[in-house]
Every structure is written in C-alpha cells, then in structure tokens.
C-alpha cells in the first residue's frame, strides 16, 4: 500500500539504518520516535535501552571503541540534559556518531515554534558545531544515511531531527 503523502514510516527509517550498517540503537523513547519500538524489536538491530539520555553517548562511545556502529535515538529535551556527554565524549573523542533526535514542538520549516524545546534545538546544535538535517517524511529520510555517512567521513557527530511523528 502506498504511503500517504508526507508520512514517515518506521520501515523507511529502518531501511536507512540498514544502508549504513548500523548495529545498535541506543535509545530512550519519546513521542516522536516511540512508534519505532515494535519495528526495531522485529529487526536485526540490537536495542540498548537507557534510563537517561546522557548515558546514550557513553554507551555509544564504548560500542564504537569495540568496533560497532551505533546510533543514538533520543528526544531534544534529553539532548539538552546530555550536554556534557556531547561535549566530553562525542566532540572530544571525535565520535562518528549519528544522533536521531525527536524534534519536540517542531511545527514545520519557516514557522516559529512556541515550544522552547524547538526554538533552542538548532541554535544549540549550531553552537556545538554539530551539522543537522530535518526529516519530516519518507521523502527526506535519505538524510539519515547521508548524515551517517557524513559522521563517518568527518569523524564527528551529525544529527537528524525527526520533525514529524511516525506513521508506524
């Protein structure tokens, strides 16, 4: 069945992760990425659930040191809480790591969000020097594999901002 225009399907996201050879998803669920859970459970990916988002970068760093290819899947609010893990691990260790960030409060390109979680996300990523791309639908899912490739090539974290709830 054809996807409705503008939807974002878990299967499309998983296909992007497969393209990249991702082995582990270190994650804490949120409303933007919660629909991924069942699909990830049924996939070949290893899920590593954590209790607080700051753990995710450290777990990912250990996985990378051990030769694996993780991604981190958390919400923007958790990214804010994780500041020192981003600084001290992701940036200082030059981790080739893709963050998939649930973009809480996102209301669309060019529109001003009322939720401060949305207003601060991109400026904070810019301040850290972390390139970021917004994924709103299946049509823009290619940013996931492209962002992952950029992270590997530059040995630097890259973020894709999941700007719309999954269609399942």
Partner 1 sequence: MSGATPRREISEPSAALRVFSRARKDEIVVLSETTRQDWPPLSTRPELDIPITGSMSKASSFGLGVALARPDLGVWVLDTDGALLMNLGSLVSIAKAKPANLLHVVYDNEAYDTTGGQPTPGAGIADFRAIALGAGYPAAYAFDDLEVLEEELPAILTGPRPALVVLKVASLGRRDNVEGMKPTYQAFVALKDYLAEH
d(CA 23, CA 18): 8
Q: How far is CA 143 from the centre of its chain?
A: 11
Cβ count near 38 (within 10 Å): 11
| 70-109 footprint of partner 1 as x/- string (CB under 8 A) | x-------------xx-xxx--xxx---------------
Q: How far is CA 148 from the centre of its chain?
A: 10
Can residue 50 be called a binding residue for partner 1 (CB under 8 A)? yes
The distance of closest approach from Cβ of residue 83 to partner 1 in the complex, given in angstroms and rounded to an integer, is 9
The distance of closest approach from Cβ of residue 127 to partner 1 in the complex, given in angstroms and rounded to an integer, is 18
| 138 to 6, 8, 41, 74, 155: CA distances (angstroms) | 7, 5, 20, 19, 26
Among 14, 61, 73, 141, binds partner 1 (CB under 8 A): 61
What is the contact surface with partner 1 in residues (CB under 8 A)?
A: 24, 26, 46, 48-52, 54-55, 57-68, 70, 84-85, 87-89, 92-94
């Amino acid at each position: 069945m054809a996807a409705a225009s503008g939807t974002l399907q878990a299967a499309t996201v998983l296909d992007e992760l497969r393209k990249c050879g991702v082995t582990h998803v270190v994650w804490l669920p949120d409303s933007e990425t919660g629909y991924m859970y069942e699909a990830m459970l049924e996939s070949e990916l290893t899920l590593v659930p954590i209790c607080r988002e700051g753990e995710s970068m450290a777990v990912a760093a250990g996985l990378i040191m051990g030769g694996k290819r993780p991604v981190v899947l958390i919400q923007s609010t958790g990214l804010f809480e994780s500041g020192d893990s981003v600084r001290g691990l992701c940036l200082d260790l030059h981790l080739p790591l893709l963050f998939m960030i649930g973009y809480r409060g996102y209301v669309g390109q060019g529109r001003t969000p009322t939720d401060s979680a949305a207003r601060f996300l991109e400026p904070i990523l810019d301040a850290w020097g972390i390139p970021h791309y917004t994924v709103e639908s299946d049509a823009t899912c290619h940013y996931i594999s492209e962002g992952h490739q950029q992270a590997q090539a530059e040995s630097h974290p890259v973020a894709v901002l999941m700007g719309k709830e999954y269609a399942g």
